[in-house]
């Protein structure tokens, strides 16, 4: 075979494989409350640039009007101007805007009153995808997911003739939540605490498999400022946000931060890499205060699992893997 032809065939096979492997992802975050959401967005953007993921949209569960413009600045920096953003229609939970307002202002961005709400945009985007293909990663509060479950067919005249549960069942492969604490079930984890009824509804009613990355995972996996400083350019809005959030130069070091949200994203894009063990299927009983009590089951129609470190991939290894994702090309 002529080498040029062989090269063409190889390139075609590679392109086809890449296209096949590109995982459609929607990301829902409380950006502006903690910096781990920012580093999580970096992973989603970079996996999209590499052709492993296709970031379809980002929704905010943070009621701050600066969440969306802050995320716009980050997405634009990473070359993802095409990714649409949506905000939360419910003013529930804390609406911090420390670093989101800063990076939005730095990029000359302001809140846009025409921003769609997350449920409307999710319904539109899900309806356009192949059946059973979309992975949803949620690293904030469960507000938008609960409202999606509650949405009726033709929600606000959107022309999508499926209810929220029907649409999810048809289009979603699985949902991943950074939420709960499976080492200390009596503890109310932050994302759960901000909207307990929404979390309870999602865990009980979501009609696909659900994976949870609990507090106990991210708390021991650190993102290190020394590494961020080395790998992200000073003008990178995620680095600017990181330095602002951790008070770099204003508060004493160390300026490291746990990586709750990144573990959820890493698992969701690359479940086949087996970075974590899974416990389950489990039912999760959500207490009145937001306790998350898991019971192992033999069989479930829509199983729930929570992540656990593998013996041969301890927290230090996961930290190294995440650090590799932050490095700017």
- Name which of 43 and 162 has its Cβ closer to Ca ion: 43
Q: Site residues for Ca ion, window 265-284 (CB under 5 A)?
A: none
112 neighbors 85 (Cβ within 8 angstroms): no
Query: In what helix (H) or strand (E) does residue 24 lie, and over which residues does it extend?
Result: strand 23-29
Binding positions for Ca ion, 146-205, rule CB under 5 A = none
30, 37 Cβ separation under 8 angstroms? yes
281-298 burial, b if ≥16 CB within 10 A, otherwise e? bbebebeeebbbebeeee
- Taking CB under 5 A as the binding criterion, the range among 4-12, 57-65, 245-253, 261-269 that sits at the site for Ca ion is 261-269
> For Ca ion, which is the closer residue by CB, 39 or 203?
39
Instruction: Give the per-residue SS3 of 103-145.
Output: HHHHCCCCCCCCCCEHHHHHHHHHHCCCCCCEEEEECCCCHHH
37 binds Ca ion (CB under 5 A): yes
**In whole angstroms, what is the distance from residue 27 CA to residue 268 CA?**
11
Measured from the CB atom, is 191 or 208 closer to Ca ion?
Answer: 191
If one asks whether residue 30 binds Ca ion (CB under 5 A), the answer comes out as: yes
Considering only the stretches 56-64, 71-79, 210-218, 255-263, report the one whose residues sit in contact with Ca ion under the rule CB under 5 A: 255-263
Stretch that binds Ca ion, among 12-20, 29-37, 112-120, 319-327 (CB under 5 A): 29-37
Burial of 234 (0-12, 13-18, 19+ CB in 10 A): exposed
Name which of 115 and 194 has its Cβ closer to Ca ion. Answer: 194
| Least distance in angstroms from the C-beta of 190 to Ca ion | 8
Phi, psi (5° rounding) for residue 21?
-85, -10
At closest approach, how far in Å is the CB of 215 from Ca ion?
11
Residue 292 has, within 13 A of its CA and on its CB side, a CA count of 32
Provide the minimum distance between the beta carbon of 202 and Ca ion in the complex, in angstroms, as a whole number.
15
Beta carbon nearer to Ca ion, 56 or 137: 137
Site for Ca ion in 132-151 (CB under 5 A): 139-140
Q: How far is the CB of 139 from Ca ion (least distance, A)?
A: 4
* Binding piece for Ca ion, criterion CB under 5 A, among 7-15, 32-40, 84-92, 194-202: 32-40
Provide the minimum distance between the beta carbon of 263 and Ca ion in the complex, in angstroms, as a whole number.
12
**Is residue 54 a contact point for Ca ion (CB under 5 A)?**
no
Smallest separation (angstroms) from Ca ion to the CB of 37: 4
**Chain residues 207-236 in contact with Ca ion, contact rule CB under 5 A:** none
Pairing of strands 276-286, 304-309: antiparallel
Residues forming a β-bridge with 284? 294
Minimum gap (Å) between residue 48 Cβ and Ca ion = 19
Identify which of residues 115 and 139 has a Cβ nearer to Ca ion in the complex: 139
With vertex at residue 43, the alpha carbon angle to CA 234 and CA 18, rounded to the nearest 5 degrees, is 125
Cα 48 to Cα 21: distance, rounded to the nearest angstrom? 11
CB of 248 to Ca ion, least distance (A): 20
Q: Taking the complex as a whole, how short is the minimal distance between the CB of residue 214 and Ca ion, in angstroms?
A: 13
- How far is 263 from 261, CA to CA, in rounded Å? 6
- Site size with Ca ion, rule: CB under 5 A: 5
Q: Are 160 and 123 in contact, with CB atoms under 8 Å apart?
A: yes
Between 153 and 193, CB nearer to Ca ion: 193
Residue 90 CA to its chain's centroid (Å) = 19
Q: Which is nearer to Ca ion, 66 or 163 (CB)?
A: 66
Kindly list the residues in this chain that would bind Ca ion in the complex (CB under 5 A).
Answer: 30, 37, 139-140, 261
């Amino acid at each position: 075979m002529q080498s040029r032809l062989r090269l063409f065939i190889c390139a075609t096979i590679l392109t086809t494989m890449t296209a096949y492997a590109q995982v459609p992802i929607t990301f829902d975050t409380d950006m502006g409350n903690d910096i781990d959401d920012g580093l999580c967005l970096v992973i989603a953007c970079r996996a999209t640039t590499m052709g492993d993921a296709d970031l379809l949209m980002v929704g905010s569960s943070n009621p701050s009007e600066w969440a969306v413009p802050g995320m716009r600045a980050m997405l634009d920096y990473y070359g993802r101007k095409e990714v649409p953003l949506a905000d939360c229609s419910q003013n529930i939970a804390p609406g911090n805007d420390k670093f989101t307002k800063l990076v939005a202002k730095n990029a000359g961005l302001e809140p846009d009153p025409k921003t769609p709400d997350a449920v409307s945009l999710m319904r539109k985007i899900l309806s356009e995808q192949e059946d059973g293909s979309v992975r949803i990663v949620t690293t904030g509060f469960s507000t938008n997911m609960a409202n999606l479950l509650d949405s009726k067919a033709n929600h606000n005249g959107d022309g999508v003739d499926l209810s929220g549960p029907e649409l999810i069942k048809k289009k979603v492969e699985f949902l991943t939540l950074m939420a709960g604490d499976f080492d200390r079930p009596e503890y109310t984890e932050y994302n759960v605490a901000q909207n307990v009824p929404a979390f309870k509804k999602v865990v009980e009613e979501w009609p696909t498999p659900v994976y949870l990355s609990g507090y106990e995972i991210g708390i021991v996996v650190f993102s290190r400022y020394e590494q961020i400083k080395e790998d992200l350019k000073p003008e990178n809005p995620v680095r600017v946000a990181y330095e602002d959030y951790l008070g770099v130069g204003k508060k004493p070091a160390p300026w490291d931060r746990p990586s709750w949200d990144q573990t959820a994203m890493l698992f969701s894009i690359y479940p086949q890499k087996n970075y974590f063990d899974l416990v389950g299927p489990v039912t999760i009983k959500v207490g009145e205060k937001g306790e998350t009590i898991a019971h192992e089951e033999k069989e479930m129609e829509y199983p729930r699992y929570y992540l656990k470190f593998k013996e041969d991939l301890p927290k230090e290894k996961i930290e190294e893997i995440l650090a590799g994702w932050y490095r700017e090309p």
